[in-house]
Amino acid sequence: MVSFGHVIDGEERGSRHGARFDSVDPWAREPWADVALGTAEDASDAVAAARRAFDEGPWPRMGHAERGALLHRLADLVEENSDELARADSRDMGKPVADAAGKDVPRTAQNFRFFADHARLATAEAYPMDTGHHAYARFEPAGVVAAIAPWNFPLMLESWKVAPALAWGNTIVLKPAEDTPASATILARLAVEAGLPSGVLNVLHGYGPDSAGEALTTDPRVDRITFTGESGTGRAITAAAARNLTPVSLELGGKGANLVFADADLAAAVDWSIKAIFTNAGQVCLAGSRLYVEHAVFDEFTARFVAAAEALVVGDPADPRTQIGPLASETHWKKVCGYLEDPAGKVLTGGRGDGWTVRPTVIVDAPADAPIQREEVFGPVVTLTPFDSEAEAVRLANDSPYGLNAMVFTENLSRAHRVAAALRAGTVWTNCFFVRDLRAPFGGVGDSGWGREGGNFSREFFTEPKAVVMAIQP
Ligand code: NAD
């Protein structure tokens, strides 16, 4: 068994009361790591460390160039330790190690480099006034950030919060999901090695409700809460944060609609649609889990899509050929299997696999109001539904409480722009999926979240913009 502690004030340590919990490897279906279990008292210690580092330490007072150099050093260390980080996420939640090493770790390094450079190169607005005054804006660090993360892309999504918060001079308490404690701890160790001052990046392990997570959301010493996870948890966190009026950013669930028109490049549409739902075993907030295909090509698309789904390799996440590993935990696997017990439609392929796996599952003929069409399954399960017109496709896509993202496949340029504008979603990908520019806004509407992250959008959240007004002597 490997051991992981909290990292508070630059030191790895156990919990005040010595409590620990296991992280279970979902492929082996047995514990692989033993982890410090945080309580409200440990959360208080972590916030106190971050508070001290912010109020008294050098981090918020450094220039962007000096801070940026340390974050670049951290990015280098992330790459140098890619194998260990990738294995940590893979063992914690069953992600194919090839995906973790090939995609998640490089993107983590990119997040640190991008936000370090973005902060260093950022400009602020000035407002010349007619009254003999001059006003300008400053972006000052917000303070102590509590970052609460999910288990589906542990390291990568944590860095998406940690990197901009650090680049803008804040200090952090990061609480990784209880299913995925390992990579956050390794990241905090690397931050110490990179030379970040102690207390700047603290990692706290534990559960959410009535535990370490909730304690972070009610602590008045916390200035920002950035959360990624389920919509229900987002509501609980928002309610808790309201007591102190702590600003909250929420990246929540999704039920991505994927529209394939008859004029699409069908081979490309099949390829992207497979990626959109089966990447990470469908445990992706952005998953294209509702696939709508124009009648004229429905049968042909479905036949090709089912064949491609059946060709995916399900198995041991440590095997580099594996494309779909087990689901992240037994609890989550049971939840996904629950949907398959009563799928409300016809299952063309898929179903339960060995251990805690679910084979790529394709369902047709499910009514629009069935749970499988409306709720976030968060597994390798997709519904296919035909449509007859552009208006119907948009109506079906928008008929969801979620609005994180949508995909459109068409070779008709005007239609691509028209439909992208009509879709109620934070991101629309046209003839592609998951392609990201880190300057672009990322977030959702409706039950998919509050606020946006990325580029200047992250700056708005992780800083206190200040107006300075100067009188100019005539
Ligand atoms: P979750 O909401 O169960 O847990 C997320 C985190 O919140 C964990 O660290 C957990 O310990 C903590 N938590 C739970 N209750 C809490 C409380 N009351 N107070 C404070 N902290 C609490 O989510 P999950 O199952 O880990 O992740 C899957 C969900 O995340 C899916 O709904 C998925 O769509 C969503 N997600 C969204 C995005 C996005 O960018 N929009 C990205 C990835 C995942």
Residues in the chain: 474
Query: Which residue reads 């260390």 in tokens?
Result: 77
Mutate to test the pocket of ligand 1, among 285, 334, 427 (most ligand atoms within 8 A of CB): 285
Phi and psi angles of residue 355, each rounded to the nearest 5 degrees, phi first: 55, -135
Ligand 1: list residues with CB < 6 Å. Answer: 148-152, 157, 175, 177-178, 207-209, 213-214, 217, 228-230, 233, 236-237, 251-254, 285, 376, 378, 404, 444, 449
To which H or E segment does residue 22 belong? strand 20-25
* Percent of the chain at pLDDT exceeding 90: 100
Of residues 251, 294, 376, 453, which has the active-site annotation? 251
Maximum alpha-carbon separation in the chain = 80
Ligand 1 atom index nearest CA of 251: 41
The single-letter DSSP state of residue 17 is T
Q: d(Cα 20, Cα 34) in Å, to the nearest integer?
A: 7
pLDDT tens digits, 62-121: 999 999 999 999 999 999 999 999 999 999 999 999 999 999 999 999 999 999 999 999
**Alpha carbon nearest to ligand 1 atom 16, residue:** 208
Q: What is the pTM of this model?
A: 0.97
With both helix axes pointing from N to C terminus, report the angle between 390-398 and 413-422 in degrees, rounded to the nearest 10: 30
Ligand 1 centroid from CA 229, angstroms: 2
CA atoms within 13 A on the CB side of 204: 34
CA atoms within 13 A on the CB side of 456: 6
pLDDT tens digits, 359-370: 999 999 999 999
**CATH numbers and ranges of domains, the chain:** 2-252+448-469 (3.40.605.10), 257-439 (3.40.309.10)
Encoded tokens for 36: 């410090």
Ligand 1 centroid from CA 230, angstroms: 5
Q: How confident is the model at residue 410 (pLDDT cuts 50, 70, 90)?
A: very high
Of residues 158, 214, 285, 453, which has the active-site annotation? 285
Ligand 1 atom index nearest CA of 151: 26
Across residues 128-135, what is the average pLDDT?
95
Catalytic residue status for 432: no
What number of other Cβ atoms are within 10 A of residue 265's Cβ?
A: 13
Residue 474 has pLDDT above 90, yes or no: no
State the average pLDDT for the chain.
98
247: amino acid identity, one letter: P
Encoded tokens for 211: 């535990």
DSSP letter string over 317-367? TTSTT-SB---S-HHHHHHHHHHHHS-SSEEEEEEE-STT-EEEEEEES--
Across residues 448-465, what is the average pLDDT?
97
For residue 225, the cross-strand partners are 146, 248
Q: d(Cα 306, Cα 270) in Å, to the nearest integer?
A: 9
pLDDT tens digits, 187-215: 999 999 999 999 999 999 999 999 999 99
Across residues 336-349, what is the average pLDDT?
96
Tell me, what's the pLDDT at 473?
Answer: 87
Catalytic residue status for 330: no
Residue 394 has pLDDT above 90, yes or no: yes
Residue 21 has pLDDT above 90, yes or no: yes
Judge whether 448 and 403 are in contact, CB under 8 Å: yes
* Percent of the chain at pLDDT exceeding 70: 100
Closest CA to 438 of 425, 457, 420: 457
Tell me, what's the pLDDT at 282?
Answer: 98
DSSP letter string over 413-438? HHHHHHHHHHS-SSEEEES-SS---T
Closest CA to 276 of 254, 262, 251, 256: 256
pLDDT tens digits, 313-335: 999 999 999 999 999 999 999 99
